[in-house]
Amino acid sequence: MKTLDLKQVLNGQSAGQTRKTYSAGETIAQQGEAAAALFYIERGQVAVSVVLHAGKEAIVGVRGPGDFFGLRALLGGGPRRASGIALTDCIIIHIEKSLATRLLQERLEFAGMFNDYLLRQHLRDLKRIISQSYPAKERLRQTLIEISNLSASGPAQPIKITQTMLANLVGTTRSRVSLFMNNFRRRGLVEYDRAGMLIVRKTLDKALQSRE
């Protein structure tokens, strides 16, 4: 199933879209500010995070090439409920709210593509929700696999992410993540390259449970 590429739709639209680059660590969208644009990731990875209470932070997901984020721009006028932070260097297309809503309401091919995207995102969300039935170690395993396969094409990508972020992503503590990662590493399921990037091996896919 080939989905329509965003660029085909955006071509011919001059106003309302901007292509920007961000370097790793930069904040692309900030929780609390007005949702003026919808974002599309052309390259790189973005963490979507929410600050809860007393500095506690939950990372709601990681998005990669081909993903949208900042969907709040399409829903009423409320402020953003989450932040988008570049995990790696990124190329992001900003689509202004007015353009995005217009495309959605007037262009059937855009609406169709976006529906398809939202359907797939919903399935990813469900996977994430299901994972809450598993213990932390299994959640970490699933999360690592998901992140390393974000760029659907080609083999698993090296990941740059701190243990603290992973902890906020799987809903556990950093000490736990450290423990689990070492376990995975001893079993040859993951490894770090010289740049400190995390490499997830295919063997992690079916790694069965084992006591830590």
Partner DNA sequence: TTTCGCATGTGCAATATTGCACACCGCCGG
Partner DNA sequence: CCGGCGGTGTGCAATATTGCACATGCGAAA
Q: Which does 108 bind (CB under 5 to 8 A by kind): DNA, a copy of itself, none?
A: a copy of itself
Q: Does 164 bind DNA (CB under 7 A)?
A: yes
Binding mask of the shown chain, residues 111 to 130, with x at each position contacting a copy of itself by CB under 8 A: xx-xx--xxxxxx-xx-xxx
Give CA angle at 142 (137, 147), nearest 5°. 125
Comparison of 111 and 179: residue with beta carbon closer to DNA: 179
Answer with the entry of DNA, a copy of itself, none that 178 interacts with (C-beta below 5 to 8 A by kind): DNA
Pair of tokens at residue 68 = 């949208």
User: Long-range pairs for 18-21 at CB < 8 Å and ≥24 separation?
Assistant: 18/93, 18/94, 19/91, 19/92, 19/93, 19/94, 20/91, 20/92, 20/93, 20/94, 21/89, 21/90, 21/91, 21/92
Site string for DNA, 111-150 (x = CB under 7 A): ------------------------xxx-------------
The footprint of a copy of itself (CB under 8 A) covers 1, 50, 52, 56, 58, 60-61, 71, 74-76, 81-82, 104-106, 108, 111-112, 114-115, 118-123, 125-126, 128-130, 132-133, 168, 171
